[in-house]
Chain A
Amino acid sequence: MMNDPIVEIRNIKKSYQRGSYVIPVLQDINLDIKNGEFMALMGPSGSGKSTLLNLIAGIDKADSGTIRIEDTEITTMSETELALWRASHVGFIFQFYNLIPVLTAYENVELPLHVTSLPRRAWRTHVEMALRIVNLTHRADHYPNQLSGGEQQRVAIARALVTDPTILVADEPTGDLDRTSAEEILDLLERLNAESKMTIIMVTHDPRAAGKAHIISHLDKGILYNADTQAAP
């Protein structure tokens, strides 16, 4: 079970139409990601990293090919089914944290629970647990603008964790942070992967960040190059 691929990508093609001509972004991508993997996706700007991540996370549609996650084929789902599926299976971490400014840290973390079927009385324990993992229990009542970038990103990670998702997707999670905060975030992701066996797919430009991952895949001009396996942890 542990070594079954949790993400199975087959022959994915994706292009964007800009005016009269078509820009191919992803060309025939095949990729397996094992359960409990920590994968980094690298590549030059415009190579299609975010596009691939968005397809895996189910917020974008491929032109052709299939993506299966935990034996569910998400490429054929309707928009409504996808929304429900994302709510319970995907944790999102963004470069600019994307917290809701009018909600407190606690409420931001609680937000995804509104979409899940978890009974309301169980919400508090989930939110508190997530905040404890990122070590921000004491800042629960603070609004995003009262938190530092690193703290905001930790709240965002708590928000991604609160539904206990199947995969965590992170698009340049340290891209907006200073070195110390970036280090903290990466350590946190590493710990989540090591201790909770969380599957993490992270897009990054930063070789130091990629160094924390077990596997680094490279995208260049829409072609995925074989994953290099790092020294096993």
Chain B
Amino acid sequence: MAIPFSYSFRNLWTRRLTTILTASGMALVVFVFAAVLMFADGFQKTLVDTGSYDNVIVSRKGSGAEMQSYVLYSDASLIESYPEIAVGVNGTKLLTKESVVLINLLKKDSKKSSNIIIRGITENSLALRPQLTIVAGRMARPGTNEVIVGNGIANQFQNCEINNVLHFAVRDWVVVGIFDAGNTGFSSEIWGDVHQVMPAFRRMVYSSLTFRLQDAGTFVALKARIESDPRLTLEAKREVKYYQEQSEDMAKFVRILGMTITIIFSLGAIIGAMITMYAAVANRTNEIGTLRAIGFRRRNILAAFLMESLLLGFVGGCIGLIFASFMQNLTVSTFMSFQSFSTLAFKFQLSAKIVLESLIFSSLMGLVGGFLPAIRASRMNIVDALRAI
């Protein structure tokens, strides 16, 4: 009942130069579209991967970022006594009381500075983050001014290599190791003994507690217990969820900004498609008359031209995605959140979902651009169309 698909396809192929040029305009938009999503996804995935499912993080109620949270010594001791917490190989509770502070470090190349998180850690910090390994040098010894640096920032900032001395909080700190925490936020941090870091920064409170549950199923009850205890103004979250929430504001900001830009750009691409399709309709006026005479209906003509412009958009989407795929696994650094502006290194992630969304988006651009020309084609009077040569 319909005009065959090959009709639409081959018409695009016949004028391939115009098709490629028009599709390239759309490809550019799709590239930006996909890149923004890849950025937001990569960013988010990095933060989410920072957490482990059976780890629980306890922070100040409503504190948002870890940077704004504080946990009193007394509260920390109370929580440490909970029996649900797993026991580590060294016989102590698998719990760490950590303190995070921001320092400003100079970048190697640009000489600009950026905020970096210093995390005061305890002996169990490593055991709680199995994704973290020392890749060069060694672990910092407790009770010393030794620090280890995440490989996400080690080669970007000055004095971050092994045996370099960092100067902050009116002290010198010796870099003794580089650690790799995979694709997580930890890779963009510097770690040192919490009992050195806290006095150096004159902090009297921890930022957060992280512990492993013996049984992940006890989380809900434990959370209720912590949050309903009138002595505590703390909240407990699964680590995964905690970091996901950390990433949401920034990812949302990037997405909204990106989408706004893409939508504005897409108007240009849509107009491009519209011009191409108007030209196609004008060139094929006689052909449209012939198809109608043969018995095809207005809606068949409409569908054939819409199909053609949709296909045009689809081609643009494919080209755009090819370029976007070159950015896959490209590592970039940006600030992590508006609360801390600390640096986070992460990779662009091209997921099946982004591929699908990009193709739908570009096909839609084609469809919208082709809509008016297709309407014009379908509105033609048969005899007038046949008279056109």
Q: Given A102-B10, A103-B10 in contact, is the A86-B293 Cβ separation under 8 Å?
A: yes
- Binary A-proximity of B281-312 (CB < 8 A = 1, otherwise 0): 00000110111111111100000000000000
Q: Are A111 and B383 neighbours in the complex by a CB distance under 8 Å?
A: no
Q: Which residues of the partner chain B approach A80 to less than 8 Å between Cβ atoms?
A: 297
Contact present for B297 and A100 (CB under 8 Å): no
Decide if A92 touches B293 in the complex (CB within 8 Å): yes
In the complex, are the beta carbons of A101 and B14 less than 8 A apart?
A: yes
Interfacial chain A residues near B382, Cβ < 8 Å? 59-60
Q: In the complex, A114→B303 CA distance in Å?
A: 14
Chain A residues closer than 8 Å to B72, beta-carbon distance: none
Report if B7 contacts A (CB, 8 A): yes
Proximity string of chain A (104-131) to chain B, C-beta cutoff 8 Å, 1 when within and 0 when not: 0001000110111000000000000000
Complex contact B389–A86 (CB within 8 A): no
Set of chain A residues within 8 Å of B1, measured between Cβ atoms: 114-115
By the criterion CB–CB under 8 Å, are B287 and A100 in contact?
yes
CB-CB under 8 A from A115, the residues of chain B are 1, 294-296
A112-B7 contact, Cβ under 8 Å, with A96-B389, A98-B287, A101-B14: no
With A59-B383, A94-B386, A96-B389 as given contacts, are A103 and B295 in contact (CB-CB < 8 Å)?
no
Q: Interface of chain B, helix or strand or loop or mixed?
A: helix
Chain B interface size band reads: 20 to 34
Asked if residues B297 and A114 are in contact (CB atoms below 8 Å), the reply is no
Residues of A within 8 A of B386 (CB): 59, 94, 98
Say whether B294 contacts A87, CB under 8 Å.
yes
- Cα A57 to Cα B4 in complex, Å, equals 24
Contact B296 A94 (CB under 8 A): no
Q: Known pairs A57-B293, A103-B6. 7 more at Cβ < 8 A? A: A86-B295, A88-B295, A101-B14, A112-B294, A114-B2, A115-B295, A116-B295
B residues near A (Cβ < 8 Å) are 1-4, 6-7, 10-11, 13-14, 286-287, 289-298, 382-383, 386, 389
What are 22 A-B residue pairs whose CB atoms fall within 8 Å in the complex?
A59-B383, A59-B386, A60-B383, A80-B297, A83-B297, A90-B293, A92-B290, A92-B294, A96-B286, A98-B286, A98-B287, A98-B290, A100-B290, A100-B291, A101-B14, A102-B7, A102-B10, A102-B11, A103-B10, A111-B4, A115-B294, A116-B295
